[in-house]
Amino acid sequence: MIEFFTEYGLFLLKAGTIIVGIMLVLGLIINAGQKQQQAIPKGEMRVTNLGDAIKERSQVIQHEVMSKHQFKQAQKRDKEQEKAKQKEEKQQLKALKKADQKVDSGETASETRARVYVIDFDGDIEASDVESMREEITTILSAANEGDEIMVRLKSPGGMVHSYGLAASQLQRVREAGYKLTIAVDEVAASGGYMMACVADKITAAPFAIIGSIGVVAELPNFNRLLKKANVDYEQHTAGDYKRTLTMFGENTSHGRDKFKQDLEETHQLFKSFINANRPQLELDKVATGEHWYGTQAKELGLVDHLKTSDDMIIEALKEKDVYAVKYTIKKPISERLSVSFSRGMERLVNRLLHRSSRQDLFK
């Protein structure tokens, strides 16, 4: 049995060495590509009228399922509606110009058609999308008018505390600027993902979306005993009692473990305080246990406000407002894109393996 564990430990060390080697190679590739990055534009902002996009796709279906006469009639109705919309917009512009010229008269102009700006956040452990989201929010806030709204289609299982803290702070900018913020969760908003979601004026979720996980976790393996059996010495020198509390290769102490647990508890308290400040109606003792719930359960607990998909939200908004998808794409060197793809792929693989091994409520 001891031989088995020794061989298994050596296998882990070899595997770790290979992984470290791969990461070093990727690091060299990234560093080499950074010189090219300066010559590449930082990013590109794309704005898509979702109403027009949906209409175009609908016309494709209509062309196939309708007779020629029906299709022509449908197109005629669409053109008439578009003309009426353009006429209304012209009248609103004239009214606004008239109001500007007659400010002292006390006349008020009719308001322009309100807009909903839709942005997407697909979260990983490092909340990498925050760089794009901050540009999107900055651009929207510089162009938005009174009455406009922002909707974030959020998907995130959480990750690093500081990264998701920054992401939540970016969303707070919307609230502080006086615009309504809606978070739509179709799949998952857990841990740091829910930290972001709770900032919103309104949270919607699909019935089977995963919500909650208001907790903090940290874990690491320790190879100290294995190193001792292999007669390998490991030294670590620090200045400050708590510069390192737990380590992978050194001998951990109860003193270090207590401090590590204390840090986790303090972080959890900060997390709960943030949730309480943004959603004071929640019973924290009931929901801040680290558990997660599906959308219907989350609605009962008050973690979300409505059960609805983002698609339904957009279609509903289109009845009275113009809806635009805003996406800022950061252009990165191919070396960096490959390294990010590799990292995310490994992250998804590990998460799937852990999920399959620890969860039984799967559709099979």
Spatial CA neighbour of 148 closest among 318, 308, 316, 322: 322
- Domains of the chain (ranges, CATH numbers): 2-48+116-222+248-356 (3.90.226.10)
pLDDT of residue 343: 61
pLDDT of residue 288: 95
- pLDDT (mean) for 170-187: 97
Confidence band (pLDDT; 50, 70, 90) for 72?
confident
**What three-state secondary structure class fits 93?**
helix
Give the chain's radius of gyration (CA, Å).
Answer: 27
Distance CA 303, CA 269 (A): 18
Q: Write down the catalytic residue from 191, 213, 335, 339.
A: 191
**What would the pLDDT profile of 12-21 be if each residue is shown by its tens digit?**
566 666 666 6
Cβ of 69: how many Cβ atoms within 10 Å? 8
Strands 292-294 and 210-212: antiparallel
Calculate mean pLDDT across residues 189-207: 97
User: CB–CB of 161/194 below 8 Å?
Assistant: no
- Higher-confidence residue: 251 or 208? 208
User: Of 22-26, 127-131, 132-136, 184-188, which range is least confident?
Assistant: 22-26
Comparing 225 with 109, which gets the higher pLDDT?
225
Q: Is the pLDDT of residue 103 over 50?
A: no
Question: Is 339 one of the catalytic residues?
Answer: no
> Of the ranges 105-109, 132-136, 343-347, which one carries the lowest mean pLDDT score?
105-109
pLDDT of the residue at 73: 79
pLDDT above 90 (res 69): no
Establish whether 308 is a catalytic residue.
Answer: no
Q: What is the pLDDT of residues 289-324, one digit of tens each?
A: 999 999 999 999 999 999 999 999 999 999 999 999
pTM (2 decimals)? 0.73
pLDDT of residue 7: 61
Could you identify the residue written with the tokens 């060495």?
A: 17
Active-site pick, 35, 68, 243, 319: 243
Backbone angles phi, psi at 292, to 5 degrees: -120, 160
Decide if 152 contacts 185 (C-beta within 8 A).
Answer: no
What stretches of the chain adopt beta strand conformation (E)? 43-49, 115-122, 149-156, 180-190, 202-205, 210-212, 292-294, 306-307, 322-330
- Rounded to an integer, the average pLDDT of 176-188 is 97
DSSP string covering 161-222, please? Answer: HHHHHHHHHHHHHHHHTT-EEEEEEEEEEETHHHHHHTTSSEEEE-TT-EEE----------
Q: What is the mean pLDDT of residues 146-153?
A: 96
Q: What are phi and psi of 185, to 5 degrees?
A: -115, 110
d(CA 262, CA 269): 11
Closest CA to 230 of 80, 9, 56, 40: 9
Q: Is the pLDDT of residue 350 over 60?
A: no
